[in-house]
Amino acid sequence: MKIKFKVSILSLCLMASSLAYADPHWTYEGKTSPEHWGELDKKWETCHTGSNQSPINIDHTIKGKLDNLAIDFHVTNETIVNNGHTIQVTTSDGDDVTIDNVKYSLKQFHFHSPSENHINGQAFPVEIHFVHANDDNQLAVVAVMVKEGKANPVIDEILKDIPAQIDKEEKIEQPFNFSKLFPTDKHYYRYSGSLTTPPCTEGVTWFVMKEPVEMSKQQITQFQEALKHSNNRPLQALNGRLIVE
């Protein structure tokens, strides 16, 4: 089934990027927390009324004999920003992933701590969201869970480039190898969901990798300190959706 968004790729990326909104302001705590997002702006009502919202607990899956994700890794220059909601890396010539014989290009990726999606009731210390769009303006998010383990050299490169000032975008001078942010095993869970930040737009195809990658305890702590607060939306009701593996 093909779901089309009649909006520009730029608009989609801005929505999915967790960029700071000047008016209204939203947060993960207090009176502007996820429980109140749908009240803050009429355009955000889907955050409360939507029936295919993300994140979810991935459980009771059905077998679909899904092919491994075909990811074509490039080496590009990127920019990085701490926008107050997440640490985000924007790509200029993104890596491609092929889904249902259609090529999607990576627009940006960002970090949540703790994880937003759960797998069989388990949360992870960090979850990375790789936001892709195709030529028809369809969105796909590839989610990679992170567990504590060995230090990841790519994460070291990202951590050292995080700007100290909120909303100050900096260029990452040294291109890095994206493949180190993905597990070797490319099997995944697939479901239909939404953006996890306002306006919570639905029609987003989610691919949650089964195998996590590793970061050291120190790297995880550094991310949490840079974020200064948890940035995970609570789990949403499945509402009869199928999760395929």
Catalytic residues: 85
Across the chain, how many H-helices and E-strands are there? 5, 13
In sequence order, what are the beta bridge partners of 62? 244
Query: Do 74 and 94 touch, CB atoms closer than 8 A?
Result: yes
Looking only at the bridges linking them, the beta strands covering 139-148 and 202-209 are: parallel
CA dist., res. 54 & res. 118, Å (int): 11
What does the DSSP assignment read for 172-216?
Answer: E-S---GGGGS-S---EEEEEEE-SSTT--EEEEEEEESSPEEE-
Q: Note the maximum CA span of the chain.
A: 46
Q: Which residues are within 8 A (CB) of 108 and not within 5 positions of it... i.e. 6 or more apart? A: 13, 16, 17, 88, 89, 90, 91, 131
In sequence order, what are the beta bridge partners of 132? 106, 140
Residue with tokens 């249902």: 100
Query: Do 23 and 158 touch, CB atoms closer than 8 A?
Result: no
CA dist., res. 245 & res. 240, Å (int): 16
Q: Is 239 left (phi over 0), alpha (psi -120 to 50) or beta?
A: left
What angle, rounded to 10 degrees, do the helices at 153-161 and 217-227 form?
Answer: 30
